[in-house]
Amino acid sequence: MPNRGLQHVTGRKHGQETVTLPPDRPQPRNPRRPPRARQNLSATRKTVYSIVSIVLSLVLLIAAVEVSSNAILRFQGVKSPLFLRPAKETILGQDQFREAYRTLDPHLAFTYGQFSEKLTEVKKRRPWIDGFLVESPIKGKIEYPVILALGGSTTDGVKFPGSWPAQLAELMVRNNIRGTVINGGIGGYTTSQDLFKLIRDGFEFKPDIVIDYGGVNDGWIYGVPRHLMVHPYQENVMKVATGEEESRLLPSTMTLLRRLIPRSVNVDYSLGISSGRTRAQTFKKNMDIMYAASVSQGAKFYGVIQPFSYFRSKHANPNPQSVGRGFIQGVNGLYKDILEIPKERKFVFDATQVLEQSEPGVYQPDGVHLTPAGNKVIAQYMFDLIKPDLEAAIRKPR
C-alpha cells in the first residue's frame, strides 16, 4: 500500500536517492516554554507557596493562642468570647442608650446633641437650649411665668413629640394663659439626674414652677447598686476612659495580656461614697432636695409619681414580657414604698390612678410610655394641679 504521508521517489542524483518530504505543517499554537521561562514560573510558585504557608502558620498560631487564652480565662472564672466580640457586648455597645444618646454629659451621663437625628427634626419646629426643649411658642424671648418640666422618657419631648409638657403648653394657649413650658425630660433619667439637672441648669431659666414627673426609672436598673445617684451609663463611660474597654478582636488574648502586663498609666475612677439607701429612700431624698432647692430659688415644686400600667391598673398589658418581669417587679416594689410619701410631703402627688377613668389606648404597647391620648390626660391633670400657683405667678411683679 503506498505511503500517503511520505512519498519515496527512487532515482539517482549524484549517486544519492531523492526523498520528497510532505508539505510543511503549521506550528502548534502553544509551543513548550523555553527552559528559562519554566524556571521563572517555578520560582514564582515557590514564593507564593512560601507566603501562603507563613500566613497560614501565623493564623494557626494566633488561633492557638486565642483558644489557649480563652481556656485560661475560663479556668479563672472569666467568661470571654472567642476571636471576635460582638459590638453589643462591648461596654458602651451593650448599653441601651448607645443609639439615642451620643452626647456625653459629665454630670448627667448623656443628653441629646449634634448626632441625634430626632433632635435635628425637632429643632425645625421648637427651640432647643442645651438639653431643654421650649414647648411653648415664643416671640424672641421666653415669656414668664416659666413652668419647668423634668423626667425621663415619659416626659421627653424629643423622643415623643406628643409629650405631656407639649400638651400642657397647648392647654395654656387655649385658656389664654401666658407663660412658657420648658421641657428638660430625657429618656433614661431618674430623679437623681433630674436633681442634678435642676440645680445645674434648670434654675438658669428662673422658673416659677418646677414639675418632676417620674418613679418608673427609679425602680429599675438606672442607678449603680450602692451608688444610686450614678447612672450606669456614667460608669460605663468611666470604664472606657480608664482603659477597661474590652477588645473586639481576639478578646481572650487581649484580656489575658492586660491581666499580665500592667498599664503604663494608672488612671482610676470613683463613684463616691457607697450608700446603703434603698431606691425608695433615694427617691424621697431627691424629692426633698428638689423641693428645698426650688423654694430657695423662689419656685413652687411639684413631685408627681407617674402611672404605670402594671401597678394597680386596668390597662395592664397581658404580655408583661414586653418590658420584662424583673422591670415590673422592681417598679411595683418601689411604688409600694414611695406611695407613703404624698401622705408626708404636701409637694409630692400620687398620679398612679389618673388614667383609670380613661378608655383603653392611653398606653403604648410596652405599658410604660403613653400615647398622645394618655399624655393629654396627664397634661390636664398637671394644668389643674398647678393652676392656682400659675395664676399667682402671672400676677407676680417682675
Q: 372-387: per-residue pLDDT in tens?
A: 999 999 999 999 999 9
Domains of the chain: total? 1
Rounded Cα gap, residues 148 and 180, in angstroms: 8
Beta bridge partners of 134: 182
| For range 270-282, the mean pLDDT | 96
Q: Where are the beta strands (DSSP E) in 53-136?
A: 103-105, 109-111, 133-134
Burial 58-91 (b: 16+ CB within 10 A, else e): eeeeeeeebeebbeebeeeeeebeeeebeeeebb
Say if residues 187 and 154 touch (Cβ distance below 8 Å): no
Residue 387 falls within a domain, yes or no?
yes
- The predicted model scores a pTM of 0.78
Report the mean per-residue pLDDT for the chain: 86
Number of H helices, E strands in the chain: 10, 10
Query: Containing domain of residue 381, as a range?
Result: 112-230+274-395
Residue with cell 425637632: 122
| β-pair type (180-183, 16-20) | unpaired
| Element of type H or E holding 142 | none
| For range 22-41, the mean pLDDT | 58
Residue 66 falls within a domain, yes or no?
no
Rounded Cα gap, residues 279 and 334, in angstroms: 7
Residue 284 falls within a domain, yes or no?
yes
The answer for residues whose C-beta is within 8 angstroms of residue 162's C-beta and 6 or more apart is: 371, 372, 375
Residue 317 falls within a domain, yes or no?
yes
| β-pair type (348-350, 133-134) | unpaired
Q: 51-92: per-residue pLDDT in tens?
A: 989 999 999 998 998 898 889 888 888 788 888 877 667 666
Rounded Cα gap, residues 330 and 332, in angstroms: 6
Beta bridge partners of 110: 104
Rounded Cα gap, residues 122 and 59, in angstroms: 50
Examine the pLDDT at 275 and tell me if it is beyond 90.
yes
Rounded Cα gap, residues 367 and 316, in angstroms: 7
Rounded Cα gap, residues 137 and 125, in angstroms: 10
Q: 165-175: per-residue pLDDT in tens?
A: 999 999 999 99
Look at residue 171 in the predicted model and tell me its pLDDT: 96
Say if residues 315 and 309 touch (Cβ distance below 8 Å): yes
Rounded Cα gap, residues 264 and 269, in angstroms: 16
The answer for residues whose C-beta is within 8 angstroms of residue 119's C-beta and 6 or more apart is: 112, 113, 128, 158
Residue 79 falls within a domain, yes or no?
no
Residue 341 falls within a domain, yes or no?
yes
| β-pair type (180-183, 146-151) | parallel
Rounded Cα gap, residues 96 and 88, in angstroms: 9
Q: 100-144: per-residue pLDDT in tens?
A: 557 889 999 889 988 888 888 999 989 999 999 999 988 778 999
Cell numbers that stand for 177 in this block: 394663659
Cell numbers that stand for 334 in this block: 418601689
Residue 162 falls within a domain, yes or no?
yes
Query: Nearest Cα to 215, choosing from 310, 140, 101?
Result: 310
Burial environment of residue 147 by CB neighbours within 10 A (0 to 12, 13 to 18, 19 or more): buried
Query: Nearest Cα to 33, choosing from 23, 21, 41?
Result: 41
Cell numbers that stand for 376 in this block: 393629654
Query: What is the chain's percent helix, strand, coil content, to nearest 5?
Result: 40, 15, 45
Rounded Cα gap, residues 232 and 29, in angstroms: 75
Residue 9 falls within a domain, yes or no?
no
User: Does 96 or 75 have the greater pLDDT score?
Assistant: 75
Rounded Cα gap, residues 189 and 110, in angstroms: 9
Q: 183-240: per-residue pLDDT in tens?
A: 999 999 999 999 999 999 999 999 999 999 999 999 988 999 999 999 988 888 888 7
The domain that contains 188 carries what CATH number? 3.40.50.1110
